[in-house]
Structure 1
Amino acid sequence: MSKCLHFTLRICRICASTCFRTLCCKGPPPPRPEYDLVCIGLTGSGKTSLLSRLCSEATDHVGPTTGFSIKAVPFQNAILNVKELGGADSIKKYWSRYYQGSQGVVFVLDSASSDEDLETARTELHSALQHPQLCTLPFLILANHQDKPAARTTQEIKKYFELEPLARGKSWILEGSSVDNIDAVKQSFIQLIELLEIKDQDTGRI
């Protein structure tokens, strides 16, 4: 056997050995962390449609949620188990019964709703931000239906809802959203995941 051929075969064996060790020792990827969220908002705010789109489900026949539903929403670095609560008057009064165990909150409001409904949404958000089981949790507030002509901007929502003074010292995000721009909604949830990770780290240091 020539020296050149012998050297080439040796290199191939080393490469094969290295590849084998890499494949065998790498193992499966670490499991993604899971976070339990509660999603609240009035009927018609668009909670179900947004969550369905995030799960790549059809939204053609989406109707108001009665009671609650749970969806596992996958992201690259986490899985969000979202408990969506119905927004009808007959259900809102029981929201607090489903808060226990939540690690974060998603509040969806209709930014194009009537002044009366917007005031109701404001009251419910204030109540959630101050609830003993939610007040220390990260909040994602989605000003939904931004695609509608009557939609208020996020700055208008922030001012009307008095978010700066009310949520001072809390971890919260306010973003506009619409079911037609689900990529932007995904980015909003990714921001929420970052807040959840920070809270996890802070809790681990206590």
Structure 2
Amino acid sequence: MDYMTVSERIQISFAVCRIGIYTCFRALCCKGTPPPRPEYDVVCVGLTGSGKTSLLSQLCSENQDNIVPTTGFSIKAVPFQSAILNVKELGGAANIRKYWSRYYQGSQGVIFVLDSASSEDELETARNELHSALQHPQLCTLPFLILANHQDKPAARSIQEIKKYFELEPLARGKRWLLQPTSLDDMAAVKDSFSMLINVLDEREHEPVQI
């Protein structure tokens, strides 16, 4: 037999309602702000025509109609789910490349973009510039993301051809580097490549300090 009075039942009902409202309030309003995404400063280099500006503009969802080669340098904050990359893109013309090293300071990673369908002469120049960057005192310990761009072109060289021609195995031994095929018609692959770099930067950031 139920001995609760009508008044007691009402009180219990109100208590259950209050608990439910409080639970909903905490779920909606008391989650707290999500932790800020880490930011990494990276430098992006490559010859004129390699596609640096187009790739970065596409990642930032910018208009592709009026893209012109970078003549000095530009900085873009490229957002990803796990981090923000502050990318300092340097112009790739011959009269600008000699000043690249002036902008290396403060970099935490390097993006080198090459045209995998370029002429032999241009590919040789790109090879020399990459070798110079890999050995520069301010960059030699940093992670490198090397993008073999324009893979959609018929004359594009394969990743294995690029790796062999650029002598990456012996030159970059002991360094953290990634070589990825990219093109503007496959931005999912481009984003995956940048995400790989972020993972390497994050791992490096959390490495224990050696005393």
Q: TM exceeds 0.5?
A: yes
Question: Which residues in structure 2 correspond to 1:1-206 (within 5 Å)?
Answer: 1=6, 7-202=12-207, 204=209
Deviates further, 2-11 or 18-27: 2-11
Which letter does structure 2 place at the counterpart of 1:64?
P
| Partner SS for 1:202 | coil
Which letter does structure 2 place at the counterpart of 1:90?
N
Change over 3 Å in CA distance of 1:179–1:203 after alignment to 2: farther
Which letter does structure 1 place at the counterpart of 2:89?
E
- How far did 1:142 drift? 0.2
Query: How far apart, CA to CA, are the structure 1 residues paired with 2:119 and 2:7?
Result: 86
Deviates further, 37-46 or 18-27: 18-27
1:130-149 CA-partner distances (Å, limit 9, x unpaired): 11000111110000000000
TM-score normalised by structure 1 residue count: 0.94
Which letter does structure 2 place at the counterpart of 1:110?
D
When the two chains are superposed, the root-mean-square deviation of aligned CA atoms in Å is 1.6
Gaps of 5+ in 1: none
- How far did 1:17 drift? 1.2
Query: How far apart, CA to CA, are the structure 2 residues paired with 1:11 and 1:137?
Result: 58
- How far did 1:13 drift? 1.7
1:136-191 CA-partner distances (Å, limit 9, x unpaired): 11110000000000000111101111111111111111000011111110000000
Change over 3 Å in CA distance of 1:173–1:4 after alignment to 2: farther
Query: How far apart, CA to CA, are the structure 1 residues paired with 2:90 and 2:208?
Result: 27
What is the number of residues matched between the two proteins?
206
Which letter does structure 1 place at the counterpart of 2:176?
S
Which letter does structure 2 place at the counterpart of 1:197?
D
1:4-50 CA-partner distances (Å, limit 9, x unpaired): 66544433321221232344432111111100000000000000000
Change over 3 Å in CA distance of 1:8–1:157 after alignment to 2: farther
Change over 3 Å in CA distance of 1:34–1:204 after alignment to 2: farther
Give 2:3's aligned residue: none
Gaps of 5+ in 2: 1-5
Deviates further, 19-28 or 131-140: 19-28
